[in-house]
Chain A
Amino acid sequence: MAKLKNLEDYRDAIEQCVKCGACRAHCPVFGAERREGRVARGKVALSKAVLDGEIGLEAKVLEDLSQCLLCGSCCAGCPNKVPTEEIVAAARRRIAEQQGLSTFGKGVAAVLGRPKLMNALAKTGGALSSLLFRKLPENSGLRLRFPLPYLESGRTLPPLSARPFRERHPERIAGEASQPTVAFFTGCGINYMYPEIGEAFLKALRFLGVTVIIPADQACCGLPAVSAGAGEVVEKLAEQNLAALSREPVDFVLTACASCNAGLGKIYAEMGEPFEKLAEKTRDIFVFLVEMGLPEKLAELPSRGVKTRVTYHDPCHLRTRGITAEPRAILRALPQVEFVEMENAGTCCGLGGTYSVYHYENSRKIGAKKAGHIEESGAELVATDCPGCIMQLQDAINHAGGRQRAVHILELLREALPEEK
């Protein structure tokens, strides 16, 4: 069985924190609520106090530790690279072990741990608007994934797709023999909510002649479960994905979702062999497309008269892993796009897995700042590389009364590529 590290394993990392306070400049939660308990330094100090037995898992500690998006921004800006997001996740697992999962965490675990249930839910939920969610029976799993208070708080959600993406396609889509073979890790967002992003993904890879394997039995990457502290669920999902993604030999495992990329590429890497191998093979779609020379190929396409102004939002899980240039390179190369940079493109949108469910108020505050920057950029579209961010950005824009649309870069790429014969 795979093994996630526990809080004790992070003792050294915790001691690396020199309490300089630099993370105050980088933590979006602290930006929304200026209190030490909200910033990485405070969460690290509390984790240490818990480890040393100076404080128990009392309500205030749980509250502060729940106030973390696990975005990793603090670590990226920390002189000592203290991995607060990992420390907080480990602390949450300890909390779950000692006190059980929260109601919502249970919901996440129940749904994520059973892909069949998720499929069934997606079908009944097809074309359901958020209003209809209210009519769902109390014990519906969908209710668990998006609990009522969350919907009543006014969040706008995309409708669930009637037919999940993976059911629409065979497991193998053959390309040219000279080109690599890749596995497509669709993630839940693309499979259930945004299948059109998956279609765009396939179009781009067909354009390059790449062979794509879409294992039907792949599961959620496990990141929402990491956030909820459901350690066993994460480990179970990792096992399942390892099996599904290593059945056929592939050169790369591609993701088109920043969270999945971090799930497979980072969380799995921390779990040691054999998961490390899978992590090493994981690539963000745009890193792969740039390596395949797509920008040069796009340059050969006829340019278009009227260009759409597009700005880019850096998903935390790519930015903190150093992936910022490639998505922009593709955007800049698109013939129908005029790329503009917005201020603070790299700050979190405020979704953060289960964070926005527990702390919708703060999540919205963080999103509102983002919506403001999008507006100021003068762009019509905000493109990104993560279905979760798309959902959050659109919600933030809607609440701010903006007219912009949040899209995946792949959707713009799909538009740019020539029609297939």
Chain B
Amino acid sequence: MLDQRIIRDLQATLGAEHVATDKADLICYSYDATQQQYLPDVVVFPASAEEVALVMKIANAERIPVFPRGAGSGFTGGSLPTRGGIVLSTERMNRIVEIDTENLVATVEPGVVTEQFQKEVEKLGLFYPPDPASLKFSTLGGNVAECAGGPRCVKYGVTKDFVIGLQVVTPTGDIITTGGPTMKGVVGYDLTKLLCGSEGTLGIITRIVLKLLPLPEAKKTMLVLFDSIDGAAKAVSTIISNKIIPTTLEFMDGRTIDCVRQATDLEVPDNARAVLIIEVDGDREFLAKQVQKIQQLIQPLGVVETRTAETPEESEALWQIRRSVSASLRKVNPDKFNEDICVPRSKVPEMIRKVDAIAEKYNIPIVNFGHAGDGNIHVNIMIDRKVPGELERAHKAIEEVFRGALELGGTMSGEHGVGIAKAPYIPLEITPEAAAYMKAIKKALDPNNILNPGKIFLD
């Protein structure tokens, strides 16, 4: 419990209605998509960088932990108030400050919802590509803090590739800016990149300068069914080595197809053991040619069937197969661990085989799908927590999955970050020296360890 005096200080700073201490509010800010719960002592809703800075000053003086929070859609518990203290919500900082159509840059506050921003820039014929599956509800601040990615990353890159400047409140309560609205800039350390993916441990992002692109004229979607995961993986490398970079290359493995088959009335032939959703974008005439070329290239690789969408509605129907995955998985088992390992593109089939072996060893269904184009595999370990022993086996399986990915030159997380969920496994991937280097940065910037403590690293 926090001292009443501190609550009064916060109220005086932000206005009483922007400081919540009712148990009901604390409950509402105690969770994220990790589904774990930790009650904060207080939730604050600042409206500006200046207010955030004042909160940090109070927190520093009183040594109270502060947990930044966007939409709370994170999968690794980054926004969870694991030590009580202050949850700092960016929900009121949700203005699109400027869209500069001349220079193709935009300035936004962190609480802006990603899709809303995309819609606004698209109205102006512009394009902001990063598209995490949570884009309809996650915030740009959360996206930057996690360096979120989505299906379009194959061609366009992840969130950090679009962030060119930030305004940040430091853990000690100063306001700084990094980078800026120019396409080039090499003065000083690249703090912008350091803060992207820092999971709210190094500073609170209060403004974001984003790079924009022209909106591609059109896109085309193909759904290709293969008789093996190797065929699908070969297709990915064949397409790319022929110098075609599709916007997306999403895959689903055999088990995923089985789930989808049960959950929908979509016609999927029995011999289909892998699916690729391939989308290309660009000029209209150019697209037709590309689609043709892709079809020619992949035809010999065990293609069972190809469906090509001509209209946005048809394209939507094809994507529906991918979107039905998440709900259909629950039919396998009620609880899931969604790991997001990433391996070099060519190693995807090998990784899937490893995962299948792990599933067998621990007798737990594991379903794989994800972004084949960048080797990012969503490994879904499906369990029933109520079955004794299942949780323990799941944890062992997860560790083996991580080890497997690392052996192939991959990483434990392609997009969800570390948070608290993967913190125990950090030593598998990061050497003690590298970890010490990172911790030194944290220590220098946050001497009292009050900004999102206990995340990324166990301490």
Q: Are B327 and A22 in contact (CB under 8 A)?
A: no
Which residues of A are found within 8 Å of B244, using beta-carbon distances? none
Q: Is B258 an interface residue (CB 8 A)?
A: no
Q: Are A49 and B326 in contact (CB under 8 A)?
A: no
Q: Are B27 and A21 in contact (CB under 8 A)?
A: no
Decide: A79 near B137, CB < 8 A? Known: A45-B27, A61-B24. Answer: no
Q: Are A19 and B35 in contact (CB under 8 A)?
A: yes
Q: Is A54 an interface residue (CB 8 A)?
A: yes
Smallest Cβ-Cβ distance to B324: which chain A residue: A79
Which residues of B are found within 8 Å of A114, using beta-carbon distances? none
Contact with B along A1-37 (1 / 0, CB 8 A): 0000000000000000011111111000000001111
Q: Is B72 an interface residue (CB 8 A)?
A: yes
Q: Are A42 and B33 in contact (CB under 8 A)?
A: no
Q: Are A58 and B23 in contact (CB under 8 A)?
A: yes
Known: A34-B94, A55-B24. 20 other contacts (CB 8 A): A19-B31, A19-B33, A21-B32, A21-B137, A21-B138, A22-B134, A23-B137, A24-B73, A24-B113, A25-B113, A36-B72, A37-B28, A42-B28, A45-B31, A46-B24, A46-B27, A58-B22, A58-B23, A60-B23, A64-B24
24 contacts between A and B (CB under 8 A): A18-B33, A18-B35, A19-B31, A19-B34, A19-B72, A20-B33, A21-B32, A21-B33, A21-B138, A22-B134, A24-B71, A34-B94, A35-B28, A42-B27, A45-B31, A46-B24, A49-B24, A49-B27, A54-B27, A55-B24, A64-B28, A79-B326, A80-B330, A81-B327
Which residues of A are found within 8 Å of B33, using beta-carbon distances? 18-21
Q: Are B22 and A21 in contact (CB under 8 A)?
A: no
Which residues of A are found within 8 Å of B92, using beta-carbon distances? 34
Q: Are B23 and A21 in contact (CB under 8 A)?
A: no
Which residues of A are found within 8 Å of B30, using beta-carbon distances? 45
Give the Cβ gap from A328 to chain B, nearest Cβ, in Å: 15
Closest CB pairs A-B (n = 4): A36-B28, A25-B136, A60-B24, A24-B137
Which residues of A are found within 8 Å of B31, using beta-carbon distances? 19, 45
Complex Cα–Cα for A296 and B34 (A): 52
Q: Are A37 and B72 in contact (CB under 8 A)?
A: no
Decide: A55 near B72, CB < 8 A? Known: A25-B115, A34-B94. Answer: no
Q: Are A25 and B137 in contact (CB under 8 A)?
A: yes
Give the Cβ gap from A205 to chain B, nearest Cβ, in Å: 33
Contact with B along A32-62 (1 / 0, CB 8 A): 0011110000100110010000110010110
Complex Cα–Cα for A344 and B48 (A): 30
Complex Cα–Cα for A61 and B28 (A): 10
Complex Cα–Cα for A63 and B25 (A): 11
Complex Cα–Cα for A60 and B30 (A): 16
Q: Are B29 and A21 in contact (CB under 8 A)?
A: no
Q: Are B136 and A22 in contact (CB under 8 A)?
A: yes
Give the Cβ gap from B65 to chain A, nearest Cβ, in Å: 19
Which chain A residues have a beta carbon within 8 Å of chain B's beta carbons? 18-25, 34-37, 42, 45-46, 49, 54-55, 58, 60-61, 63-64, 79-81
Tally B residues with Cβ within 8 Å of A. Answer: 30
Complex Cα–Cα for A80 and B326 (A): 9
Which residues of A are found within 8 Å of B29, using beta-carbon distances? 36
Q: Is B91 an interface residue (CB 8 A)?
A: yes
Q: Are B28 and A45 in contact (CB under 8 A)?
A: yes
- Interface hits, B128-158 → A, CB 8 Å: 134, 136-138
Decide: A79 near B327, CB < 8 A? Known: A19-B32, A19-B35. Answer: yes
Smallest Cβ-Cβ distance to B111: which chain A residue: A34
Give the Cβ gap from B61 to chain A, nearest Cβ, in Å: 28
Smallest Cβ-Cβ distance to A34: which chain B residue: B91
- Interface hits, B38-84 → A, CB 8 Å: 45, 71-73
Which residues of B are found within 8 Å of A81, using beta-carbon distances? 327
Q: Are B28 and A46 in contact (CB under 8 A)?
A: yes
Which residues of A are found within 8 Å of B72, using beta-carbon distances? 19, 21, 36
Q: Are B91 and A35 in contact (CB under 8 A)?
A: yes
Which residues of B are found within 8 Å of A21, using beta-carbon distances? 32-33, 71-73, 134, 137-138
Q: Are A37 and B25 in contact (CB under 8 A)?
A: yes
Give the Cβ gap from A177 to chain B, nearest Cβ, in Å: 38
Q: Are A22 and B24 in contact (CB under 8 A)?
A: no
Complex Cα–Cα for A119 and B24 (A): 42
Complex Cα–Cα for A79 and B329 (A): 11
Give the Cβ gap from A40 to chain B, nearest Cβ, in Å: 11
Complex Cα–Cα for A318 and B24 (A): 32
Q: Are B22 and A60 in contact (CB under 8 A)?
A: yes
Give the Cβ gap from B317 to chain A, nearest Cβ, in Å: 15
Give the Cβ gap from A12 to chain B, nearest Cβ, in Å: 10
Q: Are A60 and B25 in contact (CB under 8 A)?
A: yes
Which residues of B are found within 8 Å of A49, using beta-carbon distances? 24, 27
- Interface hits, B85-117 → A, CB 8 Å: 91-92, 94, 111, 113, 115
Which residues of B are found within 8 Å of A42, using beta-carbon distances? 27-28
Smallest Cβ-Cβ distance to A17: which chain B residue: B35
Which residues of B are found within 8 Å of A58, using beta-carbon distances? 22-24
Which residues of A are found within 8 Å of B137, using beta-carbon distances? 21-25
Which residues of B are found within 8 Å of A20, using beta-carbon distances? 33, 73, 134
Give the Cβ gap from B324 to chain A, nearest Cβ, in Å: 9
Complex Cα–Cα for A241 and B289 (A): 63
Complex Cα–Cα for A45 and B27 (A): 7
Which residues of A are found within 8 Å of B138, using beta-carbon distances? 21
Which residues of B are found within 8 Å of A34, using beta-carbon distances? 91-92, 94, 111
Which residues of A are found within 8 Å of B27, using beta-carbon distances? 42, 45-46, 49, 54-55
Smallest Cβ-Cβ distance to B26: which chain A residue: A55
Complex Cα–Cα for A115 and B92 (A): 46
Give the Cβ gap from B213 to chain A, nearest Cβ, in Å: 24
Complex Cα–Cα for A136 and B323 (A): 55
Give the Cβ gap from A19 to chain B, nearest Cβ, in Å: 5
Which residues of A are found within 8 Å of B23, using beta-carbon distances? 55, 58, 60
Complex Cα–Cα for A61 and B113 (A): 26
Smallest Cβ-Cβ distance to B22: which chain A residue: A60
Smallest Cβ-Cβ distance to A33: which chain B residue: B91
Decide: A37 near B136, CB < 8 A? Known: A19-B33, A21-B72, A45-B31. Answer: no
Which residues of B are found within 8 Å of A23, using beta-carbon distances? 137
Give the Cβ gap from B385 to chain A, nearest Cβ, in Å: 11
- Interface hits, B6-29 → A, CB 8 Å: 22-25, 27-29
Which residues of B are found within 8 Å of A25, using beta-carbon distances? 113, 115, 136-137
Which residues of B are found within 8 Å of A22, using beta-carbon distances? 134, 136-137
Smallest Cβ-Cβ distance to B28: which chain A residue: A36
Contact with A along B152-172 (1 / 0, CB 8 A): 000000000000000000000
Which residue, B24, B33, B34, B92, has most C-beta atoms of chain A within 10 A? B24
